Amino acid sequence: MSTTISTSTTARLEEKIVELGPWHLNVQVTPEIGTSIYRDAIKNDPQHAEASSNVAFVDPGDKFKKLMQKIYPNGLKDKRFLDCACNCGGYSFWAKELGASECFGFDVREHWINQANFLLENRTFPNENVNFAVQDLYDLQKQNLKPFDITLFKGIFYHLPDPVSGLKLAADLTTELLYLDTATRSNFDDGALVIANENKNALMSGMYNLNWFPTGPKVLMNILQWAGFQEFHLLFWRKDTHGNSSRTKVNQNVRNGRLALLASKKPGLFDGLEKERSDRRELKLQQKD
Ligand SMILES: C[S@@+](CC[C@H](N)C(=O)[O-])C[C@H]1O[C@@H](n2cnc3c(N)ncnc32)[C@H](O)[C@@H]1O
């Protein structure tokens, strides 16, 4: 009897995952079923393949959780977590797995929030006090939200017509840590924002056609310092990620890059990360000797 129920539940979940695609993030719904089944299901279906061609499928969950555990070795207990442009909400679920007390994710596109709400209803992992909304970043203030300890600003900076004001809205709601991940334009001296015009109809892009790429971490640190952050930790900056994004048209030869940067309003929050980095450097030097 229980096998029958489980089999039909599995079939229902799989059917719904395929219906809700394309997916960007690999998120487990149950220990056995993840959103990755969409990838398998569409392999021989040209209609789905076309729809998902501009949506990269990535699996950052474990890496994100490991990073958070390095910054917060005791977990995210009592932390409020905000995810700006949350897509299907993966990072909120992972923050919840680490013990966050409350998670709120928003995205301007209903397509992604439908996925997030499906996961919320069907995940067999802790989901209390996780909420999602269809919302534009620029309307964030209207909600009178309580401040958050941790804010994720990932994949959104370079999809905004006014990224400085957009980032400031998120920064003002953040009391401790902001995690910024963005595409960059690396063929300019760092210290500027480079204009572009993206396709606003693509599921993964912005809504305004006008967008700006930072030239590197320096310009972002300046903006974040102005927005109240005191300490920074550059996780990575790859100056060439090879190939131009099909979603972004610019009138010049461009070098696409990517960076991830942590900003803190709490002094000493990155001490553990900095120590680990210097230990690694030390070890490398010793190995060279
Ligand atoms: C490149 S994806 C990044 C998704 C996710 N944050 C991640 O890192 O995997 C960009 C996301 O930003 C959303 N988005 C674009 N403009 C937005 C806006 N003004 N307000 C809220 N979400 C926006 C898109 O719908 C899309 O889900």
- Per-residue confidence at 47, pLDDT binned at 50, 70, 90? confident
Per-chain mean pLDDT for the chain: 92
**83, 96 in Cβ contact below 8 A?**
no
185 within domain boundaries: yes
pLDDT one-digit tens code per residue, 15-29: 999 999 999 999 999
Higher pLDDT, 53 or 131: 131
Return the beta strands (E) in the chain as ranges.
Answer: 80-84, 102-107, 130-134, 148-154, 174-185, 193-198, 210-214, 231-238, 248-249, 256-264
Which residues, judged by CB distance below 6 Å to any ligand atom, belong to the binding site of ligand 1? 24-25, 85, 87, 107-109, 112, 136-137, 154-156, 159, 204, 206-207
Alpha-carbon dihedral 217, 87, 50, 43, rounded to 10 degrees: 100
Q: pLDDT > 70: what percent of the chain?
A: 94
pLDDT of residue 52: 73
Residue 147 sits at the vertex; the CA angle it makes with 143 and 149, to the nearest 5 degrees, is 140
Q: What is the pLDDT of residue 243?
A: 54
Q: 88 C-alpha vs ligand 1 centroid, how far in Å?
A: 10
Instruction: Return d(Cα 52, Cα 55) in angstroms, integer.
Output: 5
H helix count then E strand count, the chain: 9, 10
CATH number at residue 67: 3.40.50.150
- The reply to whether 121 falls in a domain is yes
Question: Tokens standing for 198?
Answer: 């993206």
Strands 174-185 and 148-154: parallel
Does 42 fall in a domain? no
CA 83 to ligand 1 centroid distance, Å: 10
Taking 50 as the threshold, does the pLDDT of residue 1 lie above it? no
pLDDT tens digits for 219-255? 999 999 999 999 999 999 999 886 545 444 444 567 8
pLDDT for residue 252: 53
Contact 192, 166 (CB under 8 A): no
Number of domains in the chain: 1
Domain housing 160: 60-279
Gap from CA of 155 to ligand 1 centroid (Å): 6
Say how many Å lie between the CA of residue 126 and the centre of ligand 1: 24
| 180 within a domain of the structure (yes/no) | yes
Kindly give the pairing relationship between strand 130-134 and strand 102-107.
parallel
Q: What is the DSSP letter of 281?
A: H
Q: For a pocket test of ligand 1, which of 86, 107, 160, 235 has the largest count of ligand atoms closer than 8 A to its C-beta?
A: 107
Residue 168 lies in a domain: yes
Backbone angles phi, psi at 77, to 5 degrees: -50, 135
Q: Is residue 14 part of a domain?
A: no
Residue 287 lies in a domain: no
pLDDT confidence of 53, banded at 50, 70, 90? Answer: confident
**What's the order of all strands across the beta sheet hosting 148-154?**
130-134, 102-107, 80-84, 148-154, 174-185, 256-264, 231-238
Could you tell me if residue 135 is left (phi over 0), alpha (psi between -120 and 50 degrees) or otherwise beta?
Answer: beta
Residue nearest to atom 25 of ligand 1 (CA): 109
Query: Separation of 288 CA from ligand 1 center, angstroms?
Result: 43
pLDDT band at 2 (very low <50, low <70, confident <90, very high): very low
Instruction: Kindly state whether residue 39 falls inside one of the protein's structural domains.
Output: no
